Amino acid sequence: MDILFVVDSSGSVQRVYEEQKTYLNEILSEIEPGEQRHRVALVQFSGSNHQKTEWSYDAFDDNSALMHAFQSVRHFTGISKSNIKNQTQLCSGTTYIGAALQSARAVLDTRRRNVPSIVVLLSDGFSQDDATEQAKVIRNLPNVEFIALSVSEFSNSQYLSELTDDPSRVYIGEKKETLRQKLVNKLRCK
């Protein structure tokens, strides 16, 4: 199985970013990467021009390297800067899910076509751009399942449902544990 995590790193999720990482850590710890096994890629995003492929599908051959790389992933807008009065302020950010999904499509082009692929959008669902067309393209790719997840207290579940085109593919609140277990079970079925 190939899994692509598309992770919101904007200012609106900063307070829950570590919770997002903990959630992903529990899933990633179950992955034994390799060409004949599972492969995982991670894209982080915030603003219109701020998407970063942290790693692609073929980056890791073992779990320890994957986990080490994941520990070094940082929140984009959590970087502070000094203002004129030499006080620290937080860089705020915007959320562009459409731009993120466009970047994700480039990563998806490198997926294995003969194995199932899962795209997990981890976001609160508040976006300054329209992501519906990009989401539709991803949903229509053969052998690709598109899922949305939010660990945030405030989420735009209606928009996330629109992106997945199926409310049952949106995991918020207590449902996020259901998704984690579903993914872990799939990963354990080698």
Q: How many domains does the chain have?
A: 1
pLDDT tens digit sequence for 22-37:
999 999 998 888 777 8
Q: Is residue 179 part of a domain?
A: yes
pLDDT tens digit sequence for 59-111:
998 889 998 999 888 887 644 343 334 333 334 468 899 999 999 999 999 99
Mean pLDDT of 160-180: 93
CA–CA dist 26, 51 (Å, integer): 24
- Residue 166 sits in a domain whose CATH number is 3.40.50.410
CB-based contact 36:28 (threshold 8 Å)? no
Q: Is residue 93 part of a domain?
A: no
In degrees and rounded to multiples of 5, residue 101 shows phi and psi of -70, -30
Q: Would you state the pLDDT for residue 12?
A: 79
**Model's pTM, two decimal places?**
0.88
CA–CA dist 5, 167 (Å, integer): 19
CA–CA dist 116, 134 (Å, integer): 19
Q: Is residue 79 part of a domain?
A: no
CA–CA dist 118, 155 (Å, integer): 21
- Domain with 43 in it: 2-74+112-188
CB-based contact 116:145 (threshold 8 Å)? yes
Q: Is residue 81 part of a domain?
A: no
Token pair listed for 5: 């995590």
Helix (H) or strand (E) holding 55: strand 51-55
Residue with tokens 């329209």, as numbered in its chain:
130
Q: Would you state the pLDDT for residue 85?
A: 41
Residue with tokens 């082009």, as numbered in its chain:
109
Q: Is residue 92 part of a domain?
A: no
CA terminus-to-terminus distance, the chain: 9
CB-based contact 108:56 (threshold 8 Å)? no
Q: Is residue 91 part of a domain?
A: no
Q: Would you state the pLDDT for residue 82?
A: 35
> To the nearest whole number, what is the mean pLDDT of the chain?
87
